[in-house]
């Protein structure tokens, strides 16, 4: 944890979720009510088809709703894409950009991710900028070099602690059940904090850095308690309300 920084527990549903899943969103929205909400923020990013109804369900809840991606331009002939303005129009407040699955499946570059974050900011959305190394890059001893390059290329110059969150997700740990050691996570997050502080001064010191990659109820407390880890970007475990809430409630002890 970083002193004086409010943690964020975010769920990324990826390409999962239909109207039948709304009960899970309702349960999460109810479950994050209470005293812990004053200390820890919560966010759910369902598929775009559920954005509007999800924000309506969370109207009286501290649970924020975000999108999983946006186009880098304001509007135009981009069949199937969703703009930052459309996301904001659904009353969502955040958008994930640069997730490794977008970088891999759609060959998204750092420059494209930066453009998406910039247009998110122009529409008053918080951009969650994802970075992380592959298994080959880690085995080759290139983790910090990769993180430095992606961070520099993907985070806009206008980033602040209020409009930008960085999510470190080692690609080889996403959905595999594999998790870096506490020492590995601590090293990566300390490096990212130093880079953010060097570039953005006080804003970089206060910017949240989430950890993502096989976060589960069983390892959440250990991961969230690491210095410079300011929350989690949760994948599969966010699909079930009881699992997401168990991760969220790991902060009951950490913030006591």
The active-site residue out of 101, 108, 133, 169 is: 169
The active-site residue out of 71, 94, 99, 121 is: 99
Phi, then psi, of 220 in degrees rounded to 5: -60, -45
| Residue 86 CA to its chain's centroid (Å) | 20
Question: In a 10 Å sphere around its CB, with 0-12 CB exposed, 13-18 middle and 19+ buried, how is residue 208 labelled?
Answer: buried
N residues, the chain: 256
Nearest to 63 by CA among 87, 43, 40: 43
Active site (annotated) includes residue 94: no
| Residue 48 CA to its chain's centroid (Å) | 16
Cα distance from N-terminal residue to C-terminal residue, the chain: 13
Alpha-carbon distance of 225 to 250, in angstroms, equals: 9
Active site (annotated) includes residue 242: no
Alpha-carbon distance of 206 to 115, in angstroms, equals: 22
Nearest to 25 by CA among 247, 244, 251, 249: 244
Q: Which residues are catalytic?
A: 99, 169
């Amino acid at each position: 944890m970083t002193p004086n920084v409010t943690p964020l527990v975010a769920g990324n549903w990826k390409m999962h979720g239909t109207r039948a899943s709304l009960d899970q969103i309702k349960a999460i929205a109810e479950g994050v009510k209470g005293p812990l909400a004053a200390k820890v923020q919560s966010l759910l990013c369902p598929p775009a088809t559920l954005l509007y109804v999800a924000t309506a369900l969370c109207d009286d809840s501290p649970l924020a709703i975000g999108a999983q991606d946006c186009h880098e331009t304001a509007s135009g002939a981009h069949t199937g894409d969703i703009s930052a303005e459309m996301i904001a129009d659904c009353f969502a407040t955040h958008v994930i950009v640069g997730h490794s699955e977008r970088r891999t499946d759609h060959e998204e570059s750092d420059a494209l991710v930066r453009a998406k974050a910039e247009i998110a900011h122009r529409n008053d959305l918080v951009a969650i900028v994802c970075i992380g190394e592959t298994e080959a890059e880690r085995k080759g001893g290139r983790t910090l070099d990769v993180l430095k390059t992606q961070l520099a290329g993907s985070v806009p110059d206008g980033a602040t602690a209020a409009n930008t969150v960085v999510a470190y997700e080692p690609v080889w740990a996403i959905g595999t059940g594999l998790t870096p050691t506490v020492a590995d996570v601590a090293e990566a997050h300390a490096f990212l904090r130093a880079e953010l502080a060097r570039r953005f001064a006080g804003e970089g010191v206060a910017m949240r850095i989430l950890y993502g990659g096989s976060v589960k109820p069983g390892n959440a407390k250990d991961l969230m308690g690491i210095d410079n880890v300011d929350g989690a970007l949760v994948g599969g475990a966010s699909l079930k309300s009881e699992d997401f809430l168990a991760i969220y409630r790991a902060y009951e002890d950490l913030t006591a």
